[in-house]
A and B are shown apart, each in its own frame.
Chain A
Amino acid sequence: MADDVGGSSPALREIDTSQAGGRYTANQVGGLSPARRELADTSPVHVFWLSGMSCDGCSVAMYGGNSPRIEELVNGQVVGAPQIMLHHPMFAEDAGAAFMDAYRLAAEGGLGARYILVVEGSMPDDQSMNASESFATLGAGSDWPQGKRGPASGDAPVKVTDWVVALAPGAIATIAIGTCATWGGIPSAAGNITGSMGLTDFLGSSYRSTKGFPVINVPGCAPVGDNFNEVLKELASSLSGAKTNMLEFDELGRPKWQFGETVHRHCSKAGYYEEGVFSHEPGDNECLVEIGCWGPVVQCNIVERGAINHMGGCMIAGGACIGCTMPGFPDKFSPFYKAPPGSAISGGTSRVTGMAIRRLRRMSMHNANTEPMWDSAHSKSTGWAYANDITNPVRKVNAFFYKKLQYSGSVNHHKRQKKQPLPLSRDILRQKGVDMEASVPVLQEHLIRREEL
């Protein structure tokens, strides 16, 4: 094995080849230089956060993220990423004009640094309203850059939408975080009176950042914090000259590696669907489609990534997917807790096929749950089970054909196992006459038998 370390292992050679001409060589392992040095531009990237028709839930998700953590980004501790200078009302040391100063400078073009604009919450239709009427404001007119069209006076509050108009064109990238900012979300649902819309609807589909990006959309209500933090880090690194192969987006500007799959494909309950077993009411453990889960048609990665630090995730915890990452949310998924219409066909089909698949699998499982030695001994070696059903003739026939198919064209381990002698010390306590009759009877309490998985 020592040779492998020296580099002769095929696996290790393969890694070296794939990195040929790259940054990592064998003698660097264990001592990578900080990749930040490889950034073409090592200056900090400012991040301006604006909240429209928001609930702060995306900000809360952002500081819940672990990979990377916001404090690491702000402290410049993420190897390979530039330092982030965060301008965010929830985290700012300063308040009022002192806080707004950087916003004004950025809007004037006088910041002297690159910035990313992050928008949380949908955009209300207040640009069409009287200059003194608004649904969301930030700062005062005295914070507004001279000469730009904006608030009515130095006393008037500044509409958040004014800041978006002022800051988006100069941003190296603009990220919409959460379903409100990406598509409109709940504030744009039927019955709304703010005329709200998503950021791309507001800015227009011709919008491009200074680096050429349309609005980048990280949806979710609230989004998985790591989805956003990862995009922020990758984007800031990439725009600073780091090589990254992650930044691929779909036709709606979603990070493809995060939203390229349906949430159902990675769902921990998808196996139930395959076998045609469904929850009848909330709290049941099976597939949630019939209590209103839209997972099979929703693009999201929460069950794969977890809600926070790989824990939780809607369906994993028993919550039916209501499509909160999707442009149709909420109206196209309402009413919640009603089975999606399509599930009558797809769920019905999986009930029929699933029943057959499930039966076959249970037979295979019975075989898989039997140690080959137990086959030879014709007895199951367990202190837990009461019934010993190993010699069931139907199962024997089934197992015979199963093994035929499994080992055909290969080595028949079943035959080889039959030639193995049973170990002589099997069941040693009985052989030595140790009496277990006085043991505490706890089996009734701890044994769970499931007739049908």
Chain B
Amino acid sequence: MSINAPVAPQSGPDQASSGGSGRNVRIAPVTRVSGGLELHASADFGARTVSEAALTATTFRGYENLLEGRDGRDAVFISSRACGVCGGAHALASALAMDMACSVKPPPTGVIARNFLGAMECLYDYPSHLFLRAGPDYAAPVVSRTSPALWASAEATPARGADIHGFSNISDVMTAMSPFTGALYREAIAMSRMAREAYVLVGGKFPHPQTVTPGGVSSTVDPSDFSLALLRVVKFFDYCRRTVAIWDDLTDFFYNADSRYAHVGTGPKNFLDLGMWDDPFAFDGTYENATYWGEQRWATPGAIVEGALQTTDLRVIDAGVEEFVGRSFYEGWGQGAFSHDMGGNPLSSNHPSNKKTIPQPGTANLNGKYSWSTAARWNGHPMETGAPARMWATAMGRLQPHTSFIQATGHGISMTVPQGMMASSEHEWQIPNLWNAFERNRTRAYALMHTSLVAYENIVIGLDLRRKGGPDARIFEPYKIPKDHVVGAGYWGGGRGYVSHHVELDARVIQNYQIVGPSTFSGSPRDDRGTPGPAEAAVMATTLVSPDPGESAVDLLRAVRSFDLCMYCAAQ
């Protein structure tokens, strides 16, 4: 049952693996990610190293082309359908872009309702990733098959967090993570449903919500909805305590078993995030004030290169984004329509607002075009996106306002989780020295905790706004789509982080619509200069630690899956 399959002769993007026991690995499909993904790698199972790696997004549907020529009022509901794992994030990003294009400022309660939707989507998504998509790589069946010695060690290692998560040994945790049969696996499905139940109270349905609109939301929320939502959010207090304890235990166990596990999926600490969850009184939807309202978000926008924070300014972040198609199944589009952004800063012709989607289907050639994803870069750097990027930017930005439960410390995020069935507790996610597959997953577990608290605070603020009544309690602000030529951008985040929508309207009709998803960064192919995407680089940096007798490339898959890629977001 080896995954080994021959790869095209032209494999090895820049050079083929040289001699030794190296061979080409092709994993088609990479399962347990969203959307179609293939991994090509040159791996040396003798030297335990990887010399080359390439990721192919295998699906293209043409959403950006479909949106062109449609009424602006269709934008939110059509673009949401680009991704069914985080359709809510796309709906909200689209609504923000339309807010800007139509110069409408949603009322505070409308902003809070959007925040709530964003938070609940993350609360469904993180357990799904941690236990359904990434989790099985650390579960009993995979560990015992790929590394019998590690499994034996897990059976003999007590779990430090047993008091919190209830599993005595590491092997008990791993057994509980077994697909479909394991208690933790099934609990994660149940918790993902719990979050979705709360989501649909406000969003109507999921994954494609029916109440998100420019100007706010159209939800008719009554006191029962608040109560039902709150009863579900507080269930996450204990669940996040347990999830953090489980991923702390798993990470420590792997590090202690073999320190080389720290090299699985290691990367350069480049992160990009647009932040999410707006201050209901700061957000006005305008580009002019985006720096201000961006920095007032619960999660701070940020660009981090080599572990150093570059900016928290949404406008600077946006202006640095470029998409390259030299290695992607598209034709170039020449010069774009905009030489400058809305703030007058010079804009690259590769900026999303200048991009045109011109598909060019063909055979994947690893020396040429090989993916349906474009290569999104920030100031030329490949950047990681996702919940970890959000945590890094929020921690380093130290701008997070508002909160009674969360404190950004500059070197981490400290959190007070209120009482559930368990007593209230203090936790701190610390910016790790190491960066690899394990830290990505562990950070996502802490992001579950962070998001639970954000969700709780937003419900409490929403209740307060409703009680006070008046104009702030409205959920929607009427708007008109201008007849003239207007542009708008929506900067938001989903379970996987960064998502921006760029809309250009003329006579109320969409002239150009561009979507940049988180995996357009993380899961990107090489750019025009040949620089690999973050997940490709992480595979190349991986040490094949597990003995992996069947050569199933388990450590490479751990590296890829730790990014929580969604190829439907990457290539629409």
Contact = CB atoms under 8 A, between A and B. Distances in A.
A320 B200 contact: no
Interface string A97-125: 11111000000000000000000010000
A59 interface: yes
B197 A309 contact: yes
Interface stretch (A151-159, A368-376, A401-409): A151-159
A136 B205 CA distance: 27
Given A192-B65, A281-B476, A317-B219, A138 B36 contact: yes
A95 B38 contact: no
Contact of A90 (B32, B60, B65): B32
Nearest to B360: A133
Contacts of A338: 73
Given A63-B192, A192-B62, A140 B28 contact: yes
Contact of B210 (A132, A155, A189, A319): A319
Interface string A154-183: 111100000000000000000000000000
A101 B67 CA distance: 38
Nearest to A288: B218
Contact of B205 (A74, A126, A313): A313
Interface string A129-156: 1001111111110110000000000111
A194 B201 contact: no
Interface stretch (B179-187, B308-316, B457-465): B179-187
A137 B58 contact: yes
Interface stretch (B79-87, B274-282, B534-542): B79-87
Nearest to A286: B220
Contacts of A224: 205
Given A137-B58, A318-B211, A191 B189 contact: no
B471 interface: no
Interface in B117-163: 132-133, 136, 141-142
A222 interface: yes
B355 interface: no
A57 B2 contact: no
Interface string A45-79: 00000010111111111011010011100110000
A319 B205 contact: yes
B218 A191 contact: no
Contact of A337 (B3, B202, B213, B221): B213
Interface stretch (A252-260, A300-308, A414-422): A300-308
A420 to B, nearest CB: 37
Given A192-B66, A308-B206, A334 B71 contact: yes
A137 to B, nearest CB: 4
Contact of A64 (B7, B69, B193): B193
A54 B70 CA distance: 21
Contacts of B421: none
A403 to B, nearest CB: 34
B62 A194 contact: yes
A157 B218 contact: no
A453 interface: no
Given A157-B38, A193-B65, A64 B5 contact: no
Most buried by A among B69, B133, B200, B215: B200
A60 B207 contact: yes
Contacts of A319: 203-205, 209-211, 218-219
Contacts of A95: 3, 27, 29-32, 552, 557
B32 A312 contact: no
A282 interface: yes
Chain B interface helix/strand/loop/mixed: loop
Contact of A320 (B179, B207, B210): B210
Contacts of B210: 314, 317, 319-322
Interface in B190-242: 192-193, 196-197, 199-211, 213, 215-221, 228
Contacts, number: 305
A89 B31 contact: yes
A168 B144 CA distance: 36
Interface string B509-530: 0000000000000000000000
A297 interface: no
Contacts of A191: 65-70
B34 interface: yes
Interface in A276-309: 281-285, 288, 291, 302, 306-309
Contacts of A92: 31-32
A80 interface: no
Contacts of B363: 132-133, 156
B202 A64 contact: no
B201 A312 contact: yes
Contact of B59 (A135, A190, A288, A337): A135
Contacts of A121: 61
A311 interface: yes
A91 B32 contact: yes
B189 A69 contact: yes
A321 to B, nearest CB: 8
A347 interface: no
A94 interface: yes
B133 A90 contact: yes
A93 interface: yes
Given A93-B141, A98-B3, A309-B197, 17 more contacts: A54-B84, A56-B35, A57-B208, A59-B84, A90-B33, A132-B362, A135-B361, A137-B38, A138-B29, A140-B26, A221-B81, A307-B205, A312-B200, A318-B204, A318-B219, A319-B203, A322-B77
30 contacts: A55-B84, A58-B84, A61-B206, A64-B192, A75-B181, A90-B33, A90-B133, A93-B141, A98-B3, A126-B361, A135-B59, A189-B78, A191-B68, A192-B66, A194-B60, A194-B61, A282-B216, A283-B475, A306-B200, A307-B196, A308-B196, A308-B197, A309-B197, A313-B204, A314-B204, A317-B210, A319-B210, A330-B77, A335-B70, A336-B74
Interface of A: 51, 53-61, 63-64, 66, 69-71, 74-75, 89-101, 121, 126, 129, 132-140, 142-143, 154-157, 185-187, 189-194, 196, 221-222, 224, 281-285, 288, 291, 302, 306-309, 311-322, 324, 330, 334-338
